[in-house]
């Protein structure tokens, strides 16, 4: 493995600016947000914990034009591919679900593919856990193990660099003058740091009585007629925040707009919690009640995805817990489902 000093990492970013549009996390108050990288400003925090917004927002845009005036071309163009720095392991799992939906199914989505094309993912180990983190329950470690180009582990005055793809390998070779051989003691320092974060996440899981995914099999079928859904949906205000903030949610709404001489078809993120989501024009609605839609959201994540893609569509990032104005808590619902309470 390689090592890069922080000062050289800044140089690396300066070089990458030529080929990529770089986004990097910055800290504002208690939150971290991705910001376009221009200079290495003081507010940049590459490590710590996942950003406020999910990684999907770079590739599956919240709102984009997908057709214009019957033209056959694909309207959206970006100047440079994205380089996203400081991506956390939970978001890489979300990426996996998005890739399954938009790339690996019977039909491919040209917009998503275009946005992902030639991008560069520079991930990093979490250096702390916040109270809502429970990635380990979903078998996601708080440090990236797959789906990155290069991964960083903050040690000493810089980062241990792990290569995760050919693209990452090419990068390290191209800028080899910025990297050096890592020192043996760095690995044990890294492992200690990782162990510290694992302990923190384990503490979260213990204190919130969150079940591990080994116990998830069949929870939706078993709990289908349970009153858990009505109980938990009681305070829901149908805002859809849980869906939009979720790194695995992929649903979208197609809608058309026109002005005098132009018509455009757009897609925007949609939410299965909204009443008319599955309603047909004739008025029939398979899920007229909020609790049915809450159950459906869990069914999609914990029954549909494991059946079709062999993956639970939850990353343990905890974003939906923080986003919900009604304090609906996925940790509590999973606990109730597993324990049939």
Q: How far is the CB of 308 from other proteins (least distance, A)?
A: 6
Q: Which is nearer to other proteins, 257 or 339 (CB)?
A: 257
With CB under 8 A as the contact rule, the residue among 270, 301, 313, 334 that binds other proteins is 270
* Both tokens assigned to 116: 């992902």
CB 95 within 8 A of CB 18: no
User: Does position 29 bind other proteins by CB under 8 A?
Assistant: no
With CB under 8 A as the contact rule, the residue among 43, 110, 174, 218 that binds other proteins is 110
Residue 285 φ/ψ, nearest 5 degrees: -135, 115
CB 120 within 8 A of CB 81: yes
Q: Which is nearer to other proteins, 128 or 239 (CB)?
A: 239
Q: Which is nearer to other proteins, 48 or 270 (CB)?
A: 270
Binding residues for other proteins restricted to 140-199, rule: CB under 8 A: none
Provide the sign of the torsion angle of the four alpha carbons 28, 32, 34, 37, taken in this order.
positive
Query: How far lies 339's CA from each of 53, 72, 219, 223, 298, in Å?
Result: 31, 53, 9, 10, 16
Binding residues for other proteins restricted to 240-269, rule: CB under 8 A: 250-258, 263, 265, 267
With CB under 8 A as the contact rule, the residue among 184, 214, 282, 310 that binds other proteins is 282
Q: Which is nearer to other proteins, 162 or 270 (CB)?
A: 270
User: Does position 107 bind other proteins by CB under 8 A?
Assistant: yes
User: How far is 294 from 336, CA to CA, in rounded Å?
Assistant: 14
With CB under 8 A as the contact rule, the residue among 40, 175, 291, 304 that binds other proteins is 304
Stretch that binds other proteins, among 85-93, 184-192, 208-216, 279-287 (CB under 8 A): 279-287
Stretch that binds other proteins, among 67-75, 139-147, 149-157, 317-325 (CB under 8 A): 67-75
Report the candidate in 308, 135, 145 with the shortest Cα–Cα distance to residue 205. Answer: 135
Q: How far is the CB of 197 from other proteins (least distance, A)?
A: 33
User: Does position 308 bind other proteins by CB under 8 A?
Assistant: yes
User: How far is 49 from 32, CA to CA, in rounded Å?
Assistant: 8
User: Does position 215 bind other proteins by CB under 8 A?
Assistant: no
CB 142 within 8 A of CB 126: yes
Q: Which is nearer to other proteins, 29 or 282 (CB)?
A: 282
HSE-CB for 203 with a 13 A CA cutoff: 10
User: Does position 63 bind other proteins by CB under 8 A?
Assistant: no
Q: Which is nearer to other proteins, 73 or 214 (CB)?
A: 73
- Give the footprint of other proteins on this chain (CB under 8 A): 66-67, 70-74, 101-102, 105-110, 113, 117, 224, 250-258, 263, 265, 267, 270, 272, 277-287, 292, 300, 304, 307-308
């Amino acid at each position: 493995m390689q090592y890069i000093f922080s000062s050289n990492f800044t140089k690396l970013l300066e070089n990458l600016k030529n080929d990529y549009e770089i986004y990097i996390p910055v800290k504002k108050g208690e939150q971290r947000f991705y910001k376009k990288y221009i200079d290495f400003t003081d507010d940049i925090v590459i490590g710590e914990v996942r950003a406020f917004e999910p990684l999907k927002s770079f590739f599956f845009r919240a709102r984009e034009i997908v057709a214009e005036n019957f033209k056959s071309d694909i309207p959206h163009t970006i100047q440079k591919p994205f380089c996203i720095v400081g991506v956390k392991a939970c978001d890489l799992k979300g990426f996996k679900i998005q890739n399954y939906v938009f790339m690996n199914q019977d039909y491919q989505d040209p917009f998503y593919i275009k946005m992902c094309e030639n991008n560069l993912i520079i991930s990093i180990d979490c250096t702390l856990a916040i109270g809502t983190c429970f990635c380990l329950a979903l078998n996601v470690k708080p440090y990236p193990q797959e789906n990155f180009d290069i991964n960083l582990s903050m040690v000493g005055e810089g980062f241990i660099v792990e290569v995760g793809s050919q693209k990452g390998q090419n990068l390290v070779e191209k800028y080899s003058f910025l990297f050096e051989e890592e020192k043996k003691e760095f690995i044990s320092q890294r492992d200690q740091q990782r162990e510290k974060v694992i302990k923190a996440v384990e503490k979260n899981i213990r204190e919130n009585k969150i079940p591990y995914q080994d116990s998830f099999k069949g929870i939706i079928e078993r709990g289908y007629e349970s009153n858990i859904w009505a109980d938990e949906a009681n305070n829901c205000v149908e805002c859809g925040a849980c869906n939009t903030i979720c790194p695995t949610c992929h649903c979208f709404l197609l809608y058309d707009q026109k002005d005098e001489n132009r018509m455009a078809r757009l897609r925007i993120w949609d939410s299965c919690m909204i009443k008319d989501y599955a309603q047909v024009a004739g008025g029939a609605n398979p899920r007229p009640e909020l609790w049915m839609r809450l159950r459906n959201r869990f069914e999609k994540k914990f029954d549909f995805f494991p059946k079709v893609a062999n993956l639970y569509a939850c990353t343990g990032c905890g974003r939906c817990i923080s986003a919900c104005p009604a304090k609906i808590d996925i940790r509590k619902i999973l606990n109730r489902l597993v324990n049939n309470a």
